[in-house]
Amino acid sequence: MSLSIRRAGPSDAPLILALVRELAEYERLAHEVVATQDELAAALFGQNPRVFCDLAEWTETPDPPQPAGFALWFYNFSSFRGRHGIFLEDLFVRPAHRSGGIGQALLRHLARRCLEEGLARLEWDVLDWNEPSIAFYKAHRAVPVEGWTRYRLTGDALGQLADGAA
């Protein structure tokens, strides 16, 4: 048995979309997934990608590797630190592969990237009801960012602001 983590490639777009949908089901947000395979492929593997994906694969010899989870991330920037960091958009391990260290391996993989590239931080969001994930992150000494509330513009509100109507 072995675990490997690799950078996703263009042929992985269907798998990535499937994993995104599985994550959305887990987070009770399946109704919000509107991304298509082509859109994900363009974002991840187009001429100037701004988002990246690492896939965790679990192999039990003699079987071929099985996709076990993924981390989808992008670079952000801290003006206070004067350096980039990584924002982890999605971290997901399929239920059959949980409690085997795969989530930890994906998180460690990104932490190593941060150190190798001299990045300032690794951060992410977690739903406030998701106690298993919160416990997992706290076990790795992650701390919540107190005093900050994320705001978001999408859909009509985004269009109205862009048009000057808001």
20-64 pLDDT per residue, tens: 999 999 999 999 999 999 999 999 999 999 999 999 999 987 888
To the nearest whole number, what is the mean pLDDT of the chain? 94
- Residue 166 pLDDT > 70, yes or no? no
Q: Give me the pLDDT at residue 34, please.
A: 97
Of 102, 117, 30, 29, the closest CA to residue 71 belongs to: 102
C-alpha pair distances (Å), 163 with each of 12, 49, 152, 154: 37, 28, 17, 13
Range of the domain at 92: 2-162
CA 142 to chain centre: 16
Question: Which residue in 26, 75, 137, 151 is the catalytic one?
Answer: 137
Terminal alpha carbon distance of the chain: 56
Of 120, 108, 46, the closest CA to residue 71 belongs to: 108
Strands 122-124 and 83-93: parallel
pLDDT in tens, 89-143: 999 999 999 989 999 999 999 999 999 999 999 999 999 999 999 999 999 999 9
What's the whole-model pTM score?
0.91
CA-to-CA distance for 7 and 133, rounded, in angstroms? 23
Q: Which CATH number fits the domain that encloses residue 53?
A: 3.40.630.30
The number of domains in the chain is: 1
75 counts as catalytic: no
Burial of 99 per CB tally in 10 Å (0-12, 13-18, 19+) = exposed
